[in-house]
Chains A and B, each alone.
Chain A
């Protein structure tokens, strides 16, 4: 007997949403909404308010004459290197494009470019090697060293550390002509 009643009700409501199902869905939706609100709210309140540390402004690096062809100069405070290649000056962000280690300049290692016989960047973390153009010669770094825009104002070299430029290779347009 009871079996039959159940059957009937299921036939009756086959195509409609029963009230019970409707309420179940509503509860689930409400719970989902609550969880989402909680999650998003937590992330929003924990979202960092501070922006990138310290550096980030325009930095005067020196006179054009301070950087002879083939030379590399390190600016610790500004976190960049200035490299003088044939076409002009490049300012490299010191952070390895692989996983962010600081890449030190190794003046005594065999050079990977044709500007000088010695000197290259060796990343200590996974041994990526970069040349004076910032190009990758070995290791897992997926792109050349990032650069900062350089402007030359009356012989004064100014590096804008607020703008990090990622690049796929070397182009003449990247340098500041001297």
Chain B
């Protein structure tokens, strides 16, 4: 002990190992223009002075920081995208998008490149995770009413973010050039071929040929590594910018009770709004930023805020670390799949797309491809886009599921949709609509499925009618119907479809029928 003291309790040591030695010099101070953010002034400056931090507000609402409000889902999506960019750039050093080399390159990556398998796993699982997280983020925004005025436009940007995330996954799926890639893209682009009028042209343009081959691989590669990521990056920038300009995250409208009188013994600069916005006639407010939303309340700090440093930033660091740790563990445990090299002569049985497209593939089993692959998804996207313009009541913004009735809507709509869908899928498998009516083709392909959809939609209204729901609550019921449909079809497609895409119990699936 004495020895240690001897070493540390002297001026030389102290001069060397004080934080001031690092921060109190001209180089450091030329980079960071404020002192250590231990005062509110410096906490504001640290945000304002940095390119990377300045997308944050200086102060955030306490409500925004509640984990149970956002679950950090948007942020997780963002970090996953970051991981994808980094691992993707590394992968580009080792991959050539040509039919002769692509598959070999992936095999070499897995077997000979140091950490190659891990790299591929990270990229693949981050992509899957991102699809999932973006979808969950959309659910959270919907159920908390985050899309309402003034956030309509940001919701629309979000819808496009979701679509581009899906396209990114889809284009990436072709690159390993194995059997999974080849047939998933064949089926996927054939769906594009069913777009009315222009379909075949679109497909030809996308593939660069009549069938999936060299030109398709190159085209998908370019879309995947530069075109779509650039657009996604730009849209994310707009998305974040709009969050700021829309007045931060949505929150329930503040209660109009003034803060308790300032407590004199609270030490200043502890980040509590009350101490910084005291009831003091000499205090003036300056205009710092123009945002939409209601202005600060009289005798209340601006909506119960705390400084972003460290209250918000610590969460971002933690979430970022959590994402990386979880992804690493997952990637060490589970390898990305690679089948035999693509063979245009033999279709895998069953031939499945990645899991997040299996809902679509499931629909394709039951109706005309134009309907299942183009019109139904198109109508859904359109509905999502116009949603914020239909639902204009702002009373329940920031409240999960809006109200007690809203929660009932979620429950009953889930039950209704689950029962109806499972019933329909079982019916079409074991009784088969087509064996009852097969001619003319328009009956099983169009009229029966469209009719059933309308009956299901009307039926849901009958179920929820007894609670006299408001417009928002009706939307909650239908949105829940959409989400549950999406989930159930995905689950059926992923673990209940075996040889020839027939219904099979999960533990009886043939090898290869379950692929992520």
* Chain A residues close to B by CB (< 8 Å): 43, 46-48, 50-53, 76, 98-104, 122-127, 136, 138-140, 142-143, 168
Inter-chain CA distance A47–B204, complex, in Å, is 8
B418 at the A interface (CB under 8 A): no
> A127 to chain B: which residues have CB within 8 Å?
365, 500-502
Besides A101-B351, A138-B432, 14 more A-B contacts (Cβ < 8 Å) are A50-B208, A51-B209, A52-B211, A100-B190, A101-B183, A102-B345, A104-B346, A124-B350, A124-B351, A125-B351, A126-B365, A136-B438, A142-B441, A168-B441
CB distance from A75 to the nearest CB of B (A): 11
Task: Kindly report which residue of chain B lies nearest to residue A43, judged by CB atoms.
Answer: B205
Say whether B215 contacts A48, CB under 8 Å.
Answer: yes
Other-chain residue from A76, A100, A138 in contact with B345 (beta carbon distance below 8 A):
A76
Contact call B211/A99, Cβ cutoff below 8 A = no
Interface centre among A51, A103, A125, A168 (most CB of B within 10 A): A125
Q: How far is B434's CA from A104's CA once the two chains are assembled, in angstroms?
A: 22
Which of the residues B186, B204, B209 comes within 8 Å of A53, measured between beta carbons? B209
Residue of A nearest to B345 (CB): A76
Which of chain B's residues have a CB closer than 8 A to the CB of A122?
500
Chain B contact residue count (CB 8 A cutoff): 40
CB contact under 8 A between A143 and B351, given known A101-B183, A125-B183, A138-B432:
no
Encoded as 1 (CB less than 8 Å from any A CB) or 0, chain B from 196 to 212 comes to: 00000000110111110
The stretch of B20-28, B366-374, B462-470 in contact with A is B366-374
Q: Which residues of B contact A (CB under 8 A)?
A: 183, 186-187, 190-191, 204-205, 207-211, 213, 215, 344-351, 361, 364-369, 372, 432, 434-435, 438, 441, 445, 499-502
Checking B345, B366, B499 against A140 with a beta-carbon cut-off of 8 angstroms, the contacting residue is B366
Contact status B500-A99, CB under 8 Å? no
Compute how far the CA of A100 lies from the CA of B186 in the bound complex, rounded to whole angstroms: 7
**Residue in A52, A98, A103, A138 whose beta carbon sits within 8 Å of that of B435 in the complex:** A138
Partner of A126, one of B348, B438, B501: B501
User: Which residues from chain A contact B215 at a C-beta distance below 8 Å?
Assistant: 48, 50
Are B351's CB and A140's CB within 8 A? no
Contact between A125 and B366, CB atoms less than 8 A apart = no
User: A99 and B364: CB pair below 8 A?
Assistant: yes
Write 7 A-B pairs (CB below 8 A) sorted by A numbering: A48-B208, A53-B213, A99-B187, A99-B190, A125-B501, A140-B364, A140-B367
Which residues from chain A contact B183 at a C-beta distance below 8 Å? 101, 125
A143: chain B residues within 8 A (beta carbon): 441
Q: How far is the CA of A15 from the CA of B236 in the complex (A)?
A: 44
Tell me which of B187, B365, B366, B432 contacts A100 (CB under 8 A). Answer: B187
Nearest-neighbour CB distance to chain B for A93, whole angstroms, equals 12
User: How far is the CB of A110 from the nearest CB of chain B, in Å?
Assistant: 13
Closest Cβ–Cβ distance, residue B433 to chain A (whole Å): 10
User: How far is A142 from B204 in the complex, measured between Cα atoms in Å?
Assistant: 21
Nearest-CB distance from B353 to chain A (Å)? 10
